[in-house]
Structure 1
């Protein structure tokens, strides 16, 4: 394995979470249900009383269920089961992203948390807007960084200049993937800051 391939693999492992926990939980639940059905079948064949319900009782109950239960209850239960299935499918297929960015570097693998990137963006935005620490709030996610500036009353802030400054800082850091930057300047200014 080459160093470049090893570095890419390491970066991927650090920026994406493992899917083993949802897989283990799902497999355990399926195994418990199958073992219970197996045990009930063995008890039914042996003529022993069932633990919860024997397969002989479950079959006719399921066949008769649409006639016995109200339609609204069946629809709600069906929707809940479908949503659970979609959730399990999404956990299996979609990549799990950790709150981290990879930084492009030829010599080593560098990982940066979202909080660090948000802090750096706040610092640059604060300097570009000429406001204090409490007047800038930043949120970072995988695809975007949102900067909210509360200007001092009477002093206008150029949101495009702030956005350019933040984008310049992020470009210099070499984040991968490069997030989109959105800057919002509050319409009401801060007094006494």
Structure 2
């Protein structure tokens, strides 16, 4: 299999398609076009309009800025502007899925962010000899956040946690790469309350 086919497959798995948004927009535009077409045919046939005659509809559109109540016109304009901004955002935005590609393999490997978080948390827990649940990891599109909660009386250096996590993430050779952020939480007492 060629590298181009593999990279296309990885892109499909790591980026969200715009199919749903495109279908919704096309259905709404298609329904509007069909409605306008039916009204025009009924007007040419001399039949009454279903909702509004084409001439009356155009006249209402031209008189819309002066229509009463003004609050309804402004609200309708705001809804249309928000819908337009959402569509522009969908068209321009990256649309990433919560997944990362693992490069450096002769085959395409895509890993879910939840799997990455679990693997890094388990490796850190073992390396730092901590209790289960003492390491919490969150993976975003460009960064990984590690929170370690040591046992009472135990001290762990933030730099060591960050270095261990960065070393583990580097082993996966992820694309795009992740920047590691580490945090040491306050130790909990025997009943689970923060000190």
Task: Return the TM-score normalized by structure 2.
Answer: 0.88
Q: Which residue of 1 aligns with 2:64?
A: 65
**Aligned counterparts of 2:67 and 2:17: Cα–Cα separation in 1:** 43
Q: Which residue of 2 aligns with 1:83?
A: 82
1:61-92 per-position Cα deviation (integer Å, ceiling 9, x unaligned): 22333323343433332122111112112222
Asked whether the 8 Å contact 1:125–1:136 carries over to 2, the reply is: yes
Label 1:42 to 1:3 Cα distance change in 2 as closer, same or farther (>3 A): same
Asked whether the 8 Å contact 1:23–1:92 carries over to 2, the reply is: no
Asked whether the 8 Å contact 2:144–2:180 carries over to 1, the reply is: yes
User: How far did 1:129 drift?
Assistant: 4.0
- The answer to which of 171-180 and 52-61 deviates more is 52-61
Q: Which residue of 2 aligns with 1:154?
A: 153
Q: Which residue of 1 aligns with 2:41?
A: 42
| Alignment partner of 1:172 is 2:171 | yes
Q: Which residues of structure 1 form unaligned runs of 5+?
A: none
Asked whether the 8 Å contact 1:128–1:162 carries over to 2, the reply is: no
Segments of 4+ in structure 1 off by > 6 A?
A: none
- The answer to which of 47-56 and 172-181 deviates more is 47-56
Asked whether the 8 Å contact 2:148–2:183 carries over to 1, the reply is: yes
Asked whether the 8 Å contact 1:129–1:158 carries over to 2, the reply is: no
**Aligned counterparts of 2:58 and 2:17: Cα–Cα separation in 1:** 39
Task: Return the TM-score normalized by structure 1.
Answer: 0.88
Asked whether the 8 Å contact 1:103–1:109 carries over to 2, the reply is: yes
Q: Which residue of 1 aligns with 2:133?
A: 134
User: How far did 1:125 drift?
Assistant: 2.8
**Aligned counterparts of 2:50 and 2:33: Cα–Cα separation in 1:** 14
User: How far did 1:21 drift?
Assistant: 2.4
**Aligned counterparts of 2:93 and 2:109: Cα–Cα separation in 1:** 24
1:132-161 per-position Cα deviation (integer Å, ceiling 9, x unaligned): 222222211211111222222232221111
**Aligned counterparts of 1:166 and 1:121: Cα–Cα separation in 2:** 7
* Cα-Cα RMSD: 1.9
Q: Which residue of 2 aligns with 1:5?
A: 4
Q: Which residue of 1 aligns with 2:183?
A: 184
| Alignment partner of 1:102 is 2:96 | no
- Counterpart of 1:98 in 2: which secondary structure? coil
Q: Which residues of structure 2 form unaligned runs of 5+?
A: none
